[in-house]
Amino acid sequence: MNTKNLKWLNLIPLIMFFIVDKLRGTLISRYLLIIIVALGIMNMFLAKSMKKYLFASLMLVASTVVGMILYTYYYYYFVSANSEAPIFGAALMMVYGFIAFAVAAVGTVVVVIKERMAEKKRQ
């Protein structure tokens, strides 16, 4: 598989919230967390430069947050108009977004170290 196109896998969280809800009936899923972390690790190891890594990580964080916002909107307007739905959705969005952001932050450190080591080898 072409590694250039693997960055588009970071858009999986956009639809994953709907899939997890339909399959398990809950949004608090370790499978979704594992997918987010796996995508972050994949970004870390496949990045050719810091610029490409930051773009891929930003895609992951943004798709996680936007996916959760879309799912909260869908749930509130089409499933249950509970007054707690937006609050619960915002709390989950923060949890998933924080995890995606934490994986991106750790990956940034790893990519910087990897680039510096490659730079030292060239000198």
Measured between alpha carbons, how far is 33 from 72 in angstroms, rounded to an integer?
Answer: 17
Diameter over CA atoms, the chain? 62
Residue 27's pLDDT band, with cuts at 50, 70 and 90, is low
Q: Tell me the per-residue pLDDT of 88-118, one tens digit each, with 9 for 90 and over.
A: 777 877 888 888 889 988 988 888 888 888 8
Residue ranges of domains in the chain: 28-116
| Residue 71 CA: distances (Å) to CA of 21, 32, 120, 123 | 9, 14, 46, 50
Q: Tell me the per-residue pLDDT of 58-87, one tens digit each, with 9 for 90 and over.
A: 998 889 888 888 877 877 777 777 777 777
The tokens of 79 are what? 């499933």
Phi, psi of 29 (to 5 degrees): -130, 130
pTM: 0.80
Residue 6's pLDDT band, with cuts at 50, 70 and 90, is confident
